[in-house]
Homo-oligomer: A and B are copies of this chain.
Amino acid sequence: MSVTISDVEKDFLDYVKKMEAYNEALALIFWDLRTGAPKKGIEQRSEVIGMLSSDVFQMSTSEEMAQYIEKLSKDHAELSEVTRKTLHECKKGYDRNKKIPAEEYKEYVILQSKSESVWEEAKEAADFEMFRPYLEKLVEKTKQFIQYWGYEGNKYNTLLDMYEPGVTVEVLDQVFGDLREKIVPLVQSISKSEYKPETNFLFTHFSKEKQREFSLEILKQMGYDFNAGRLDETVHPFATGLNPGDVRVTTKYDETDFRTAVFGTIHEGGHALYEQNIALELVGTPLCDGTSMGIHESQSLFYENFVGRHPSFWKKNYDLLKEYASGQFNDVSLEDFYRAINESKPSLIRIEADELTYPLHIMIRYEIEKGLFNDEIKVSDLPIIWNEMYEQYLGVKPENDAQGVLQDVHWSGGSFGYFPSYALGYMYAAQLKNSLIKDVPNYDQLLEEGNLIPIKEWFTENIHQYGKMKQPLEILKDVTGEGLNANYLIDYLYDKYSKVYQLK
């Protein structure tokens, strides 16, 4: 009996399913570690993580995987679409991992883990020099890997491709250029405006339990399915999709700033809606995931900013918020509340930035990374360059490296090419919204009614269901009819902030 292509296809899908089962177990372990796993069990849990991760890694680079890739690549036309795309993902991972000599990869993993702890200490001490030699090695190693992997056009493209397939330096230079040109003057006009929002009332005591209850109400309104998820507390909030039937949201409570939990939950809820609504036929394959960091972030930022910071959303929900709060908003008009939660001012720390200035933080990191991997910037010059750029883009200057170049964890883990996704997500969101309101013209009214379901359904129809079946720019093209265009975000920001700050 000869082995047919469909036998191989079936075996391949079983093989992949097993890898995904390990990944699901790992995802649960990570969720648990970040939501209350007892401290003393962590060391042994790390052994379990090591074991399961190495199972997945071995399976992804095994001789068996090589055989599947070889055999199935020959008969591409006979395969189902799901198999073809799964094969594509597996091949991508196989190539990436196999092209680096095993010994070098091992050294790199050790370097990564050391660098993360050194970075923590360096940040604590606000001393870039402590971290510099590690960052230099990480950049050198990554350059070496780019040589192994190969590149097209710009060397940095290879790194971008890991997080946002299809988005290149050429694309980013264009959109970030457009964005910068328009946002910097807007930020300057705002800082000159005398019509500044009052914000003191935001920082009054709001009990954790009540914040949680309000957050649950909002998740419900968004169409988050509690039979396929739950809300837990954590230190660094995240959402995690174990499978589409189990997508968990976590949040953090600050009893003197309810915005942390409320906007954080809406943001993570946006991520969660994506993963809850991936087509079930993709379960057990690597396609059962968001297609890219940027598209994922488009969902979270859409809900956080285009829903959660929209005046109509608060027309519906401000009274509800007042019910859960203990009096802090009693003398505050809806208008004043709305302006307060949309305050914008230049700041030093990315994760505390408002929606207007946030993209500028990202652009600084983008320019630096691009410079590093094209040998135009040296690691040793980073603190100076960083501080100069903050002055130039945002008009603020860090007092030390902890507030500056050391603020983010990403580089210490070797995650270069990741930052642009955050700003991409934001541009995608604005561009997608422009298409959404063509299909759902009563958008503002729906928010006012608290009926967010048609919005979720539109995203499911156009994005969620596909998982990784479509590439990010493919989705954008199919939905909006064009490539990435920064103007939608620019228009949105001008329109909104001109009103909030009454600019002429």
Could you tell me which A residues sit within 8 Å of B by CB distance?
17-18, 21-22, 24-25, 28-29, 32, 36-45, 47-48, 51-52, 225-230, 242-248, 283-284
Contact call A284/B40, Cβ cutoff below 8 A: no
Question: For residue A230, which residues in chain B have a CB less than 8 angstroms away from its CB?
Answer: 36, 38
Quick one: closest B residue to A241, CB to CB? B41
Contact call B24/A246, Cβ cutoff below 8 A: no
Contact call B40/A24, Cβ cutoff below 8 A: no
Least distance between A467 CB and chain B CB atoms (Å): 14
Least distance between A397 CB and chain B CB atoms (Å): 42
Bound-state CA distance A248–B37 (Å) is 9
Contact call B51/A18, Cβ cutoff below 8 A: yes
Besides A21-B47, A25-B52, A42-B245, 20 other A-B contacts (C-beta < 8 A): A17-B51, A18-B51, A22-B51, A24-B45, A24-B48, A25-B48, A28-B28, A38-B229, A38-B246, A39-B227, A40-B244, A40-B246, A41-B228, A41-B245, A41-B246, A42-B246, A44-B242, A44-B243, A44-B245, A45-B243
Contacts A/B (CB < 8 Å), 5 sampled? A21-B51, A38-B246, A40-B244, A40-B245, A41-B246
Quick one: closest B residue to A43, CB to CB? B245
Per a CB cutoff under 8 Å, which of B17, B44, B243 touches A246? B44
Question: For residue A245, which residues in chain B have a CB less than 8 angstroms away from its CB?
Answer: 38-44
Copies of chain A in the complex: 2
Quick one: closest B residue to A37, CB to CB? B246
Bound-state CA distance A245–B33 (Å) is 13
3 nearest A-B residue pairs (beta carbon):
A41-B246, A40-B245, A41-B245
Known: A21-B47, A47-B21, A51-B18. Contact between A41 and B225, CB under 8 A? no
Bound-state CA distance A255–B43 (Å) is 38
Question: For residue A47, which residues in chain B have a CB less than 8 angstroms away from its CB?
Answer: 17, 21, 284
Quick one: closest B residue to A23, CB to CB? B48
Quick one: closest B residue to A288, CB to CB? B44
Question: For residue A246, which residues in chain B have a CB less than 8 angstroms away from its CB?
Answer: 37-38, 40-42, 44-45
Question: For residue A51, which residues in chain B have a CB less than 8 angstroms away from its CB?
Answer: 17-18, 21-22
Contact call A283/B44, Cβ cutoff below 8 A: yes
Bound-state CA distance A69–B429 (Å) is 60
Contact call A21/B242, Cβ cutoff below 8 A: no
Question: For residue A21, which residues in chain B have a CB less than 8 angstroms away from its CB?
Answer: 47-48, 51-52
Per a CB cutoff under 8 Å, which of B18, B41, B52, B227 touches A243? B41
Known: A21-B47, A29-B28. Contact between A40 and B283, CB under 8 A? no
Bound-state CA distance A43–B244 (Å) is 11
Bound-state CA distance A41–B240 (Å) is 13
Contact call A38/B284, Cβ cutoff below 8 A: no
Contact call B24/A242, Cβ cutoff below 8 A: no
Contact call B29/A44, Cβ cutoff below 8 A: no
